[in-house]
Structure 1
Amino acid sequence: MTAPTAPRTILEYGLSSGNVALVQLLGLCPLLAVSSSLVSALGLGLATVLALTATNACIAALRRVTGRDVRIPVFVTVIACVVTAIELAMRAWLPALHGVLGLFIPLIVTNCALLGRAEAFASRHDPLRAALDGFAVGVGFLLVLLLLGGLREALGRGTLFAGAGALLGLPQLEWTLLPGYRGFLLATLPVGAFFLLALLIAARQRWSAR
């Protein structure tokens, strides 16, 4: 039986030492594709946090009745059910944001972080600790999404939370940093996402080394 993991250790791993985006380099496809704006990054990040938390808790609750031979199909089924529920809820309550994120919401099912945490942690711990682990890992991913999305939007358009009124119904969040700014095209393109993510990873490695 696995010894209980301290909550502080769980949080530190998800947010820093085991960050799925900057350390494990998982989920890079949605990270790079959706981070073109802060609003879309926030939407996908929150959906991922909810998916990780819920799937970890469910898998931990089922761990004693799931045989080792069928654990992977069970994990995938639980993940697919949770992500489908999140997608349907977003389509019902935030249709504009759902339209922007499009295929990347159901593609959360294929995010290696969900299956990885299910196998490495949720299947070996109680539901409460598993939910905390999923939340910490999801928030770590969300923070990187927000940082990358904010950098790309600020450099590329000179704005922050542009479109929050239409997508979230929160126009008060929209902020123009530089009126009349013509934008830096590279930051809005996929290659700009790769460059900025590389800089974030290098900065994190430098900080870790110090």
Structure 2
Amino acid sequence: MSKIFIVEDDPSIRAELTELLQNSGYETDCVTDFSRTAETILASDPDLILLDINIPYINGEEVLRTIRQKTDTPVIMVTSRTSETDEVLSMSFGADDYITKPYNPTILLLRISAILKRSVKNVQTQTYRGLEVNDAKGSLIGNGKECVLTKNEMIIFRLMLDNMGQIVNRDDLMTALWDNDEFVNDNALTVNISRLRSKLTDMGCEDAIETRKKQGYILT
């Protein structure tokens, strides 16, 4: 059972997160003394950290920078602000993902699941049809070439690779790509799939993605 450490100073939100995660099969831990946040996280040795930016004594970005000197445990930054500066700083300090409040619980769980799968699989290099999948660089390496995927292409590829041989429906792909409730043109997903399919073909993986009409896609 994976352990998720919650850094959230609002007791009601912390309780809701704890209930959500425990009901989804995760073990949880949290901090209540925010004067020693980084030390408490490191002592807990979790598998993933949900780290709010706005916490007492020290902001979450400083906590992230401190713990990154000791551990590469995956971190999802959480904030109520929508400033791009927050996202840039979080990623530059070593965050693995970033989500804003109020967040959709289903999307949060999908993000957590995807990151935990990557962290486990990255212990041993994963391959696809002889290509090395480099999540850190967002690229596929093989046959003397390296193909860099966009962030969206990598999200699509990783979700399909994690469900190899199974149909991944369009709704699941859309949810993984966009973490808001705004209307998203379905054509955008089709374009991303097309580009990914083309890049895989260029790397020698023809017919890698099968389209199942009215169902979704399969990575073969």
TM-score, normalization by structure 1: 0.30
Hey, which of these two has a bigger chunk of strand by percent?
2
Q: Relative contact order, CA 8 A, sep 6+: which one is greater?
A: 1
